[in-house]
Structure 1
Amino acid sequence: MKNVPLADVDHIDRAVLPIGTDYPPGHVLDWHAHRRAQFLYGATGVMVVDTADGTWTVPPERAVLIPAATRHRVRMLGVSTRSLYIEPDAVPWWPATCTVVDVPPLLRELLLAAVDFEVDYSLSGREGCIAALLLYEIAERAPLPFHVGIPAAADLAKLCREYLAAPDVGVTNAVWAARTAMSERAFTRRFRSETGDSPAVWRTRARLLAAVPLLRTASVSEVGGRLGYASPAAFTAAFTRAFGMPPSRFASSSGVHAGHDGR
């Protein structure tokens, strides 16, 4: 099924409903939740998924597992999606929080085949086997670290979401402490208790996550400079430490040919 609203087919007696959807650049799916669990794969572009607990950046050709009934928002940056909406009872192993995963070639081809199914596809034969195999393949995926947590406290969450929207290397712990009318020491202690990270470590990770969509249209050198890194090599080293792969993996064609891109 393609470009079909989930609400029109959610009642269908199928554990797995595959739907492909094309979105205009910059489209935002505002806060909502699904009764079913969702496997959201970006065949193109970058997705940013927000929940009350955190933000997950989904690079091209990766996917995010969204638990059933989880309120979330998705920002689409040049994305064509292939989604599976799955009855919760069919996936008792589904993660309790959103999880970004890799999508190897077999899983990708199964997804591409599944979105051509009719809504009431046959459970016997090829289509039923593909639906079952999809669940086996998803269960084998290991989580990727493209995530940053959001504090539960409203004032800290506001600081974090504003920073994610416009990362600024000039922001310091003192700036954030002043905005919450706390001493820097008390603020840092409170922030760490809510997130498990110091504010400086959190901001560094947030800037690196912000690099993923920027790399769609700019070189590694340009993105590193915009995010405050002294050199492409320093940016590449920090990105690779955080995510286990260099930024050149996500760079535009112009970016991967830029000097010192870390490949």
Structure 2
Amino acid sequence: MPAPRATLPPSPGPGPTGDRPVSLTARDLPADVSVGAHSHEWGQLTYARNGVLRVSADGSSWTVPPQRAIWIAPHVVHEVTILEAACLSPLRIHASRDPFRGETCRVVEVSSLLRELIAALEVGERPRDPRRGALLGELILDELARAPSRPIRVPLPRDKRLKGVCEALLAAPGDTQTLAGWARAAGASERTLARLFERELGMSFGQWRQQARLAHGASLIARGMPLWQVAQQLGYASQSAFSAMFRKTFGSTPSSYFADERRLRS
């Protein structure tokens, strides 16, 4: 099982208001720390301009590279783990300006324009230029509402034994240990663990592990890692085996999938 991580409080700073519906407080965080489970009265776009995050909320987990962000609705409990040192720049959005009403969580593409608007808002948040910050916030809300969604969701369980296994696999998606080995580590029988996967997650152990691997692999590819290296890190026998599973899941090869993403961002 993974070693405990250092847990940090949420970012300090003022929340959004009716006059200033978008606010932001950026901070640099090292790898292998977590922002503990919490919620807000406002909505939050969880985004990092560099590094890689894992966000857990609403019974699911997402691995988030800089090209993506996750919308989390007001009052939804969430946790953020820093997988690779990152500048965490969560956007706080007033509940009255929710861009995705009815959705608790939504993964969105961060366009070049949205990325630059967020960077400019960091400057606009300074006391010397409050009006600029308000204008940037309105532009961000407009761009965010147009952002395409690219969900790569990994469901999470409630059972403590199964949750420990899933968290360990998310921390080391290339691990090749069998279900029997994980059952011993969790203090349960292999049959019990298999039943928990089906009952709580609606899929087998093998299916869930593949989904977790592909979600992590997508973030590695988005950062520019060669496919052969991604396949190696995730425990696939070859690059072609990884590409075949990726195509089966997402309907296109990794190269085509990310070429589409680059066109969306251009």
TM exceeding 0.5: yes
TM-score (norm 2): 0.75
Question: Which residue of 1 is the match for residue 111 of structure 2?
Answer: 104
Matched, 1:66 2:55: no
SS in 1 for 2:147: coil
Shift of residue 213, structure 1, vs aligned partner: 5.6
Q: How far off is 1:55 after superposition?
A: 1.4
Specify the SS of the correspondent of 1:114: helix
- The structure 2 residue matched to 1:10, chosen from 11, 15, 40, is 15
Letter in structure 1 aligned against 2:38: H
- 1:95-244 to 2 correspondence within 5 Å? 96-118=103-125, 121-122=130-131, 127-176=133-182, 179=186, 181-182=188-189, 184=191, 187-212=193-218, 219-243=226-250
Kindly provide the amino acid, as one letter, of the partner of residue 20 in structure 2. R
Q: What residue is the counterpart of 2:89 in the other structure?
A: 82
Cα distance in 2 for partners of 1:49, 1:244 equals 25
Structure 1: stretches of 5+ with no match in the other structure: 252-263
Q: Measure, in 2, the Cα distance between the counterparts of 1:108 and 1:57.
A: 18
Work out the percentage of aligned pairs sharing the same amino acid: 33
* Contact 2:25–2:90 (CA under 8 A) maintained in structure 1: yes
- Mapped partners of 2:256, 2:30: distance in 1: 24
Deviation at residue 46 of structure 1 after TM alignment: 1.4
CA 86–213 in structure 1, closer or farther in 2 if over 3 Å, else same: same
State the one-letter code of the partner of 1:44. N
Q: Which runs of 5+ in 2 are unaligned?
A: 1-9, 259-266
- Residue identity matched to 1:10: G
Aligned length: 243
Q: Is the 8 A contact 1:191 1:198 kept in 2?
A: yes
Q: Quickly say closer, same or farther: Cα 1:26–1:233, change in 2 above 3 A.
A: same
CA distance in 2, matches of 1:72, 1:19: 17
